[in-house]
Every structure is written in structure tokens, then in C-alpha cells.
Structure 1
Amino acid sequence: MDRIQLGNTVFEGKNDVYLLDGDRTVLVDAGVALPDVREQLRDGLADFGLAVADIDEILLTHWHHDHAGLAGELQAESGATVRVHEADAPLVAREESAVEANNDLLRDALDDWNLPADTRDELLDFFVFHDELAGADVDVTPFADGDTFDVNGRTLEAVHLPGHAAGLSAFAFDGDEGREAFVGDAILPKYTPNVGGADLRVDAPLQRYVDSLLRLVDLDLARAWPGHRDVIEQPTERALTILEHHRERTENVVGVLAEHGPCDTWTVSAHLFGELEKIHILHGPGEAYAHLDHLADRGVVERDGHEYELVEPDVDVAELFPTVG
């Protein structure tokens, strides 16, 4: 297995494309559809004596453009099979109904979170460019949780880990020192993957992500190969660290409501993150929403219109999260 790192001027950190070469040439993820990234991928393949035409299969961890954007043009040139979880397949395939529904969810969320008009316009202007990053049309072959793929004598198993994206999936395999996995953005070595704004189709996004973190813990991976930056040598510990991060963020949300009284999602986001720009205009309030939703589901806050009010000020937030170990 080899890694090709690609530039990423839109999202956090360099993207990783993993090359599984042998009788068949397989990529895990494909990078964003930008000219310089396209050339980086071609050059990276050439470093291993390969060309785009040699690609037989592309396994996508999820639909986000920085992971799937180049899949269409790679497929057009090579005839490669492109696989992604069934929940994300319509967006990767750019099915008109799926794209329109996702755009409707975005507009509804901006209303629901009570974004100021100028901030909303800034985000929507960003998405005019963002949509171009989706790249060419893709003929998608969907897979489901637990499906397996034979790659040059090694079996990869799809492990569905929703939260950051509805269809986000890892590909687990037996490595030299135990079980390993390509994990996409399920866990990252530096940043915590956004939950709540990164995929508006995910219901109860924080709970879904917590469940996925627990599933990663249960996998007891020896190493994880993320979608950005470098290998994670202790993935169980990283998953638990991210779980603790979300517990602390939930405490912070409770603290905002305790100090300032009823707030809408945008106001909570402003107290948590300050001024935001570009994609973070979506990710900030999305993260605040995920935690407010988690608290509302457990009766700690109540919603009235756009605002959330703290009704259980003495809550022990730790009791809202599972105890592991």
C-alpha cells in the first residue's frame, strides 16, 4: 500500500489517496476536482509507474468533494468501477433529485439556525464555487455495511460509520500488526471531523457519530489510515479523545445557555467559535446544532422557535455520553 498526498486549499489539511497496486490497481478516495490536484494525482501515480488508465477500481470513503471529486474523470479515462456506500451513492452520482434535496436541506438549515442575511449570502457565494469541485459525472456501484472486496489477495470490509457523512465508511483489513482500516474522515489525527454541518441529511448527528466512535473502539484497530494528514498509530485512543472532546463541547453549550439565556443556533455558534468564514460558516452552527439537538433529545434544553432554553441547569453532561473502559 502506498499513499499519494494531494493539496487541498478548501478544506483542512492535505488529502490522502491510498494506492493498492498489484494484479489490479485500486485507489481509496480520489481527491478534489481542481487542476493542480489533478496533476498531483497523475504525478503521484507516475511515481509508482502507473497512469490513470491503469486504475481498475476506486473505493470512496464518502461523498464529500475533497474525497470524491476526481472520481468521475478518473473513471472516464480508465473505466474503473467506483464504489461508495449506498447512502452517499446518489450524491456521488450527482442525481438531480439528490442534489436538489441536499440544496433544500441547506437552505432550511440556514433558516433554522437563524443565520444573518449577509453571512448566509457569503456562504451561498462560497457554494457556487464549491459545487464545481464535485467534478464529472460518476457511474456509481453502491455497497452496504459488511460488504467485502478482494483487492490483490487482501480482503477489505466496509464498516459504516455515519456522523460526519451519512454514508461514511471505513475499509478494514488484516495488516502486519493486526486489524487496520482506511477510515476517511471518521477520525482524523489533528482536527475533529465536523458533525452537524458536514452532511445535513444525518438525523441526530451527534448520537450517530458517538455510535460510530464506539464502533471504531470495538474494532480495536492497530492503525488507521485517515483521509487527511498522517497515519493514526493509536486509533482507539484517538476515537476516545474525540468522544471526550464532544462531551466537553456539550458542557460548553450548556455553559453558553446558562450564561446568556435562550439562544438560537447561530448565537451559540458565535459564542463557541467566534467569527467564521467560507465553509466554517456552515460547520460552526452545524456543530452547535448537533449538540443542541443532543441536549434537546435528552430533555436538557427545550426549543421555542429558533431559540433553545436550558431547563436542566444542573445536568451532569458526562451522563449523556457512554462510559468506555
Structure 2
Amino acid sequence: MAASTRVTDHGGGVWSIQVPIPDNPLGHTLVYVVDTDRGPVLIDAGWDDPASWDTLTEGLTACGTSVGELYGVLVTHHHPDHHGLSGRAREASGAWVAMHAADLAIVRRTRETRPGRWFTYMTAKLTAAGAPEEHVAPLRTSEPRTLPGLSPALPDREIVPGELLDLPGRRLRAIWTPGHTPGHVCLHLEESHPAQLPGHGRLFSGDHLLPEISPHIGLYEDPDDATVTDPLGDYLDSLERVGRLAAAEILPAHQYAFTHALSRVGELLTHHEQRLAGLLSLLSDPLTLWQLAERTEWNRPWADIPHGSRNIAVSEVEAHLRRLVKLGRAEAVPGTDPVTYVAV
């Protein structure tokens, strides 16, 4: 696909470039280009891959600019399909790279943690979840190169929630929306919509609000921090906050732009309510996290879910279970190993 067909002009000095994610069903990240008085600013940068870089640079040319003219890179969250090319964009232009402090801390930790530490941690987590030995065994012998994004670029700046960002000539405000990651941000362009659509400006929603996909809500993993977080609770609160903005249009990092923000927020709230209710009904008998994941309804049968995706599924189940425990609707069964949980 030629770069020109990957570029969309959203009007008002905003474009998107479809930057491919190699070997991923999502297909691409929508990297946004926002014109400012000091040069273009990227919102996210895409996956660190040669073909992705070529698409990004060709896309910038199609937008009438170039990578060398970049003024800054705003990263909605630390995942490699969003932050991957930030460092290379900075090297090519001298642009700053900005991220929320909570995700900046994850980037710093990722850069400092030996890969073996992560595999040891994940092995312990999955064993505690009741995963069978045949699932855990590959992690004991995994090579470090199987982990993507081991050396992500260290951002220069922090995105401070509530503040107008450094985009001369534009009004772009950071909205902290934890859930998908602890430092996920949406970015609210507080300017009238170029097509005069009703509502309050446009919202770059990252992975927080997507038109057809429910973003993964898993655990905020830190091998050295035993704090019991509640990422699903964070996400649901963040969703309602975004709904109250009443943006005229949502510009997400995947799929396509859309205008039905309020109804989409309602659909996602209902989805998670149903997931919580489904887990609660399964917990009429004590189950481990792994058993809960096996019995949960996914978009395909458990037997067809590959190894890495099963880890993500268990993490998502645990995030929902933590919410039920926090609400006093489920609890751990004392003395069980691996731990089982039951409805209250």
C-alpha cells in the first residue's frame, strides 16, 4: 500500500498515518500528525520496524512535511505499537518525547530490568494462578529476545494531566485515563470541529476508547511492587470521565475515527458489567485464576488461544477478579495453593 493511501486528512491541521504493526491482527497504529506554529507534533509513533519507519516517513511527506521538521512526540501510553518509533523520530529531528509519569516509570524499569527477571516473575505469577506445568515450562527456557520493546526510548518530558501541552498555536489538553496502562492519556483538542460537528472538540483516545474493540485491561505488572492495584476500576472511572467530555469526534489509535463517543462508552461499561457478572456466576464453586480463564467466554475457544494470548487472558481475568474482591463480591479461599476464589 502506498504511503498516500495510508494518510487521511482529518481537517484543521490534523492527519493520520496508518503505520503497520508486523504480524499483528490489529494491522496498524494510527499515528496522528498535528500541525503547530513550531512544526508538526506526532501523537504516538508506531512499532519499531524498518517497514513501519518507512511508512511513517513517507506519510509525513504526503502530509506536506518531513520527519526532520518534527517538534515533538506525544505518547498516549508505553506499549511498543505506540512508543516504538519515538526514539528514532527524536534522533531524526531533535524533537522532544513526552509521556505520563506512570508509564515513564515503566519505560525506565523496562530499560533497567534484566529479561530473566521478567520470565522468573511471570513464571511465579502463572504458577500461583494455577497454570499447568506444560504452559509454564516454556517460560523457564525462553530467550530474552522473545520480549519486544526491551530498550524503549526514555522520554524527555512528562505529560501532566489537566495541563495544556506545548503545542504553540493549538489547544491540546491531557486527560489521564488509566486502565489499559497506569499512565495512559487521552489528548483533548479544545478547538471547534473543522466540519462543525456538535460537541466539544476532538479527542485523541489512544487505546482507551476504540470503535469496535474492548481494550485489554490487565494488571500493572511490577516485579518489585506488591501493591494491589485495581486497573479495571481505574478504567471504568476513566471511561466515564471521557464520556463527560462530550467530544464531537474520537480519533483513536486503531481502526477509524468515530462520533458516537457516549454510546460507545455505554457499550464498554455494559461489556465489563457482563464480564464481572459472568465471573461471579462461575465462582459459585472455588476456582483458580487459570480455571476461571478457561471457563470465561473469549472470542474463540480456549483450546485455540495461543500461549502468549492465554497469559493476557489470565491477566484480564485477574483484573476483573480484583474488582469483584474490592467490591466485596468475591474472596480468596484461605489456605488454598494455588489460591482459589469464591463468590461471597
Instruction: State the TM-score, normalized to the length of structure 2.
Output: 0.81
Question: Which residue number in structure 1 is paired with residue 187 of structure 2?
Answer: 171
User: SS of the residue aligned with 1:45?
Assistant: helix
Distance 1:151 1:126 in 2: 43
Q: Which segment is superposed worse, 86-95 or 139-148?
A: 86-95
Letter in 2 for 1:151: L
In 2, Cα distance between the equivalents of 1:12 and 1:30?
15
Check the 8 A contact 2:127/2:136 in 1, yes or no. no
Residues 82 and 11 (structure 1 numbering): CA distance in 2 closer, same or farther, change over 3 Å?
farther
Q: Which has the higher strand share?
A: 1
Measured in 1, the distance between the counterparts of 2:286 and 2:117 equals: 29
Q: Which of the numbers 66, 71, 96 marks the counterpart of 1:51?
A: 66
Counterpart in the other structure of 1:230: 256
Distance 1:141 1:298, change over 3 A: same
Aligned pairs for 1:164-313 (under 5 A) are 164-174=180-190, 175-176=192-193, 177=197, 178-197=200-219, 199-200=220-221, 203-258=229-284, 261-272=285-296, 273=298, 274-275=302-303, 276-304=305-333, 305=336, 306-312=338-344
Residues 56 and 15 of structure 1: is their aligned pair in 2 closer, same or farther, counting only changes over 3 Å? Answer: same
Q: Is the 8 A contact 1:65 1:134 kept in 2?
A: no
Q: Look up the equivalent residue of 2:157 and give its one-letter code.
A: T
Q: Which moved more, 1:281-290 or 1:7-16?
A: 7-16
Letter in 2 for 1:12: L
Question: Partner residue of 2:130?
Answer: 114
* Corresponding letter in the other structure for 1:280: S
**Structure 1 residue 94, shift from structure 2 partner:** 6.0
Corresponding letter in the other structure for 2:71: D
Unaligned runs of at least 5 residues, structure 2: 1-13, 223-227
CA contact (8 A) 1:81 1:141 kept: yes
Matched-pair contact (CA < 8 Å) for 1:89–1:140: no
Q: Which structure is higher in RCO with an 8 Å CA cutoff and minimum separation 6?
A: 1
Alpha carbon RMSD of aligned pairs, Å?
2.6
In structure 2, relative to structure 1, the CA distance for the partners of 1:134 and 1:237 (3 Å cut) is farther
Any gaps of 5 or more consecutive residues in structure 1?
313-325
Partner of 2:175: 159
Aligned residues: 309
Q: Using the alignment, how far apart are the partners of 1:204 and 1:56 within structure 2? A: 36
- The residue matched to 2:131 in structure 1 has which SS? coil
Q: Output the amino acid matched with 2:291.
A: T
Q: What is the TM-score normalised by the length of structure 1? A: 0.86
Identity of counterpart residues, as a percentage? Answer: 27
Asked if structure 1 preserves the Cα contact closer than 8 Å seen for 2:123 and 2:140, the reply is no
